[in-house]
Chains A and B, each alone.
Chain A
Amino acid sequence: MAKYLMLKHYRGAPASVNCVPMDQWTPEEISAHVQYMNDFAARLEKTGEFVDGQALAPEGTWVRYDGEGRPPVTDGPFAETKDLIAGWMIIDVDSYERAVELAGELSAAPGAGGKPIHEWLEVRPFLAAPPTITECFHQ
């Protein structure tokens, strides 16, 4: 049992196979894509593996502390930022292999021409709570 984040990028991932941008799809193709994503999440709920799924707006703000008694400094958005997160899905699965299998399915979502996008998704394990039995900490 381990949680994984399946991360979808607007930018920063290697190019997908079917890389026609969404604004050049037909409305039906967009509907089919959205339907695929919803069905995928619903299916994961049924298998008892779904934890969370969220989409993010492409534009964000950079914020940092600017010292005692001063308001935070804000900046951006920066158009040149290389890596841009589009959204994520969190799954709770029995193995890394299962996480990869599911990411592969999600990457098959249809795009232009109704063909799979073959989009690169990033799969990252959560850092979990430490196990009760940590034999290695003999030291």
Chain B
Amino acid sequence: MNEALLRSLTPSVLGILVRRGADFAAAEDAVQDALVEAVRVWPADPPRDPKGWLVTVAWRRFLDQARADAARRRREDRIDEEPEPGPTPAVDDTLQLYFLCAHPSLTPSSAVALTLRAVGGLTTRQIAQAYLVPEATMAQRISRAKRTISGVRFDQPGDVATVLRVLYLVFNEGYSGDVDLAAEAIRLTRQLAAAIDHPEVAGLLALMLLHHARRASRTAPDGSLVPLAEQDRGRWDTESIAEGVEILQAALARDRLGEFQAQAAIAALHADAPTAEETDWVQIVEWYDELAALTDSPVVRLNRAVAVGEADGPRAGLAALAALDASLPRHAAVAAYLHERDGDLATAARLYVEAAHKAANLAERDYLTRQAARINARRCH
């Protein structure tokens, strides 16, 4: 059975229950139960209409639960009061669910967890494993998130930008455990792109595809990081790159630039270079200028300094870096790299050690320590 296909039905089934008058939290539980039931029953007895099957089972679960509930009178009254909903396109429901699960009243971690469950159809256990927390903790995080948004109307218009931030977070978490979060983020962004025509949604999808295309080459068999310049470009997923570039070009043609489109444009320029030496750094610097104008993020300026160093030489890169706060994450790593290119090995080695000390993850720390060791070995011989 194709579990991704089953999970792709989650938002529209949930939307139907909510439109029939079920409250979101109870409906969401009922849909989860129906998904579990489907995994159990479908292999031996596949339904002709999978979505209809899920709606029927989930609705029955919801009613059972509502009846068993102590507050059953109140709840049933409310359902009776709801007017019978007319037919509504499922695509609207899906979009509303994204808005609801990324509601600004939620903390980023709750919005991520709720999106993965209510829109993605993942189980609490899968989400807990992916984020390396106990299942009980993740269950509480999700039910708390549901309580937080219990007063939010389902048909309230939302902000696409908040949804994109949540999906970006899911993608950037990488992958751990059984669930491939990057692949799941791509699936959810693709589904969102089908529900709403928005250049930044397309931009984020393109960005994800272009980065995902390089995944296999990003780490060596021993798990160590391989920097972009040293990656085996033959292992890049050309299909994923082609799709990302096509989506990006269509988005850019609409002339409503946003930060994800600009980031994707930079990723596309890297993907386009047959070798690291042939990278069009001048254009990349221009895109970083666009990005800096859009976000004013210090991290963007830091990355821009790297690009300037490639386009105009390490001295120019160091000059760009000098304007930035030295306490920025990865500032020392960028400085080390530029000093090495400038021939100042002693400073580079010292800064690589400092950067390793400040690294936020193990693979990066090991990478930076190796850079320091490599330079020190060269200086001694």
Contact = CB atoms under 8 A, between A and B. Distances in A.
Given A48-B144, A92-B131, A94-B107, A128 B360 contact: yes
Interface in B210-266: 211-212, 215, 225, 227-229, 263, 266
Contacts of B137: 45, 48-51, 92
A134 to B, nearest CB: 8
Contacts of A132: 171-174, 182, 211-212, 215
Interface string B294-335: 000001001100110010000000000000000000100110
Interface in A114-135: 125, 127-135
B24 interface: no
A1 B330 CA distance: 19
29 contacts: A45-B136, A48-B138, A48-B142, A48-B144, A49-B137, A50-B133, A51-B132, A92-B133, A92-B137, A94-B109, A127-B360, A127-B361, A127-B362, A127-B365, A128-B361, A129-B176, A131-B172, A131-B361, A132-B211, A133-B207, A133-B211, A134-B225, A136-B302, A136-B334, A137-B228, A139-B227, A139-B229, A139-B306, A139-B337
A138 B132 CA distance: 29
A3 interface: yes
Interface of A: 1, 3, 45-52, 92-94, 125, 127-139
A137 B227 contact: yes
Contacts of B175: 129
A127 B359 contact: yes
Interface in B101-156: 107-110, 112-113, 131-134, 136-142, 144
B108 A1 contact: yes
B138 A130 contact: no
Contacts of B334: 136
A3 to B, nearest CB: 7
B306 A138 contact: yes
Given A127-B361, A131-B173, 8 more contacts: A45-B137, A47-B144, A48-B110, A51-B133, A127-B365, A135-B263, A137-B228, A138-B229
Contacts, number: 110
B174 A131 contact: yes
Interface of B: 107-110, 112-113, 131-134, 136-142, 144, 169, 171-176, 182, 207, 211-212, 215, 225, 227-229, 263, 266, 299, 302-303, 306-307, 310, 330, 333-334, 337, 359-365
B133 A137 contact: no
Contacts of B169: 1
A130 B306 contact: no
Contacts of B109: 1, 48, 92-94
B112 A1 contact: yes
Nearest to A127: B362
A130 B333 contact: no
A139 B335 CA distance: 11
B136 A130 contact: no
A45 B131 CA distance: 15
Nearest to A125: B360
A52 B266 CA distance: 40
Contacts of B303: 135-136, 138
Contact of A129 (B113, B142, B330, B361): B361
Contact of A3 (B132, B142, B363): B132
B230 to A, nearest CB: 9
Contacts of A48: 109-110, 113, 133, 137-142, 144
Contacts of A92: 109, 131-133, 137
B101 to A, nearest CB: 15
A27 B132 CA distance: 37
A94 B227 contact: no
A125 B360 CA distance: 8
B150 to A, nearest CB: 16
A51 B333 CA distance: 31
A1 B144 CA distance: 16
Given A131-B173, A132-B172, A1 B363 contact: no
Contacts of B182: 132
Contacts of A93: 109
Contacts of A94: 107-109
- 9 closest cross-chain pairs (CB), A and B: A48-B141, A48-B140, A127-B362, A1-B109, A130-B363, A131-B172, A139-B337, A130-B361, A137-B227
